[in-house]
Chain A
């Protein structure tokens, strides 16, 4: 049986205790909201896309250490990156969480950085939803920003 240390890696607890990019942004920033109906966790993603780049991102809401640290790592990973790269990372992350969305196999050549630490979540199927919540919410925010 996988142990707690497989799930709660130190870097995850660090992001949970000191979340990055926490807060909100005023319009014209777009806002999307995600809910995990099973546990009541809520995530808000505020996003400014400028010239095809994720210019700024803030995370609001509340949830467990997995959902909060995943959101924190995600915000750090996509901030300042081209939208296409952010979308590719969403695809890659969900693939890592064993969520098959079809389409091409993600390119896994670039290092994942802190996000690597979330790999252990896949051994705890119940928690995959927690880890993926912010990523789905980001995808929605990117869609809104593209409108």
Chain B
């Protein structure tokens, strides 16, 4: 199927909004993505015609709701090529998915003397849960450094992994846009006897994902970054690992039996899904997966690569030495998330001027403070593109940036 960005844009009602009579230029999709009618309609339809509890009540409406809820799980499993549908777990968000791994697998497997390997480009969600458990258990955390062009420096990887029990890393940096060699990193982890955990929040929405080809043990991502609703994350894990892990949250739905003396827990996936689930959101994610599948993830990646090349060239051509783009200049090694510094103008001030032109970017530390320290910045401006962004969005960014430069001439 050929990719037509204007057709895609027509699917996203918010992109037609005018704010203060100017069109919206949404360049914050690494933060969260906009929603197509297919997702909005699926959720609305479900609430209007099919809403009921799942996996408990026996009447027809509840049975149908359960089918849709479990059907969405199956769609997600296919989308990431998970071997088994019940290995796909619903969580509140990707952050909770990572916390689940750390609390459940980590508590069962990590103690003083052990080591976990992370990288210098992780989101706080893949740092802080480990630090919290490390403070209790006394294991050490080792860090994979970066090269000067924002790639992982793998020259010492085998030494870092030696004796480690887990290697947890991002498939794509939410700041630098760097796409990491996930399959090779998983293989290196396994060679050292460690499990491989992939934070795929920035990857799953933007490129084809095959958890089996990666050879990962756990993969986490969020619905809201892949045109689905907020309030829902996904944890995929190998059945053998999930089966051996203790439950994370206790309550309804996750039990097999409860007596005064104690409880036994349910089979996967219910074991890790305590309480009422985000049913409407799961229906929405199912629709998002259908939508992205129909467009084709290869097409999404190809489009974003084109936009990345255009954006990198335009920013460099127009602003030359006034702009410092962080990360790799090679669009083959990166996604369409571009962080930069512009002269001495503070990112907050840049985003304020951009906002006057409805150009929506993120200014800040992007929940990656260790990486920001490495870049020697408190904050960066980050423009992140998705399947609905066009070359004219790149022009709008450059025009607004030029205005910011004029305004803040120091």
Q: Verify A40–B410 contact, CB threshold 8 A.
A: no
The interface-forming segment of B40-48, B93-101, B205-213, B344-352 is B344-352
The minimal Cβ–Cβ distance linking B22 to chain A, given in whole angstroms, is 10
Q: B349-371 interface mask toward A, CB cutoff 8 Å, 1 = contact, 0 = none? A: 10011001000000111000100
Report the minimal beta-carbon distance from A73 to chain B, rounded to whole angstroms: 17
Task: Determine whether B156 belongs to the interface, using a CB cutoff of 8 Å to chain A.
Answer: no
Closest CB in chain B relative to A74 CB, distance in Å:
18
Roughly how many angstroms separate A40 CA and B378 CA in the complex, as a whole number?
5
List CB contacts (< 8 Å) of A1-32 with chain B: 1, 3-4, 7-8, 13, 17
Tell whether A41 pairs with B379 under 8 Å between CB atoms, given A4-B407, A65-B346, A65-B408: yes
Taking a contact as CB atoms under 8 Å apart, the answer to whether A64 and B410 are in contact is no
Return A60 CB to nearest CB of chain B, in Å: 13
Q: Say yes or no: B369 contacts A1, CB within 8 Å.
A: no
B133 within 8 A of A: no
Residues of A within 8 A of B410 (CB): 17
What A residues does B20 contact at CB under 8 A?
A: 1
Please, how many angstroms separate the alpha-carbon atoms of A42 and B378 in the complex?
8
Interface centre among A1, A4, A40, A41 (most CB of B within 10 A): A40
Contact of B364 among A38, A42, A62 (CB under 8 A): A38
**Closest chain B residue to A68 by CB distance?**
B346
B372 within 8 A of A: yes
Contacting residue for B356 out of A4, A62, A64, A130, CB 8 A? A4
In the complex, whether A110 has a CB less than 8 A from a CB of chain B is no
- Which residues does chain B contribute within 8 Å of A63, judged by CB atoms? 346, 348, 378
Q: Does A66 contact B (CB under 8 A)?
A: yes
Neighbour of B348 across the interface among A3, A42, A64, CB < 8 A: A64
CB proximity to A under 8 Å, residues B155-177: none
- The smallest C-beta distance from A29 to any residue of chain B, in angstroms, reads 24
Known contacts A4-B407, A63-B378, A64-B346; is-contact A40 B364 (Cβ 8 Å): yes
By DSSP majority rule, is chain A's interface helix, strand, loop, or mixed? mixed
- Could you say which of A38, A40, A62, A127 contacts B352, with CB atoms under 8 Å apart? A127
Q: Which chain A residue shows the least CB distance to B380?
A: A40
Q: How far is the CA of A64 from the CA of B347 in the complex (A)?
A: 7
User: In the bound complex, do residue B369 and residue A124 qualify as a contact, i.e. CB atoms below 8 Å apart?
Assistant: no
A66 B348 Cβ-Cβ under 8 A: yes
Shortest Cβ gap from A64 to chain B (Å): 4
B347 contacts across to A, CB distance below 8 A: 39, 64
A68 to B378, CA, bound (A): 14
Q: Check A39/B352 contact, CB under 8 A, given A1-B20, A4-B407.
A: no
Given A3-B356, A4-B352: A40 in contact with B346 (beta carbons within 8 A): no
Map CB proximity to A onto B318-352 as digits: 1 under 8 Å, 0 otherwise. Answer: 00000000000000000000000000001111001
**Distance A12 CA – B347 CA, assembled complex (angstroms):** 17
Per-residue CB proximity of B171-188 to A under 8 Å, as 1/0? 000000000000000000
Shortest CB distance B382–A (Å): 12
B408 cross-chain contacts in A, Cβ below 8 A: 13, 65
> What's the Cα separation between A62 and B348 when bound, in Å?
12
Nearest 3 CB-CB pairings of A with B: A64-B348, A40-B365, A64-B346
Given contacts A39-B364, A63-B346, 13 further A-B contacts (CB under 8 A): A1-B20, A38-B364, A39-B347, A39-B363, A39-B379, A40-B378, A40-B379, A41-B348, A42-B378, A65-B348, A65-B349, A66-B349, A127-B352
Residues of B bordering A, CB below 8 Å: 20, 346-349, 352-353, 356, 363-365, 369, 372, 378-379, 407-408, 410
Q: Which residues of A contact B (CB under 8 A)?
A: 1, 3-4, 7-8, 13, 17, 38-42, 62-66, 68, 124, 127, 130
Q: 21 pairs across A/B with beta carbons < 8 Å?
A: A4-B352, A4-B353, A7-B352, A8-B407, A13-B408, A17-B410, A39-B348, A39-B364, A39-B379, A40-B364, A40-B365, A40-B378, A40-B379, A41-B378, A42-B378, A63-B348, A63-B378, A64-B346, A66-B348, A66-B349, A124-B352
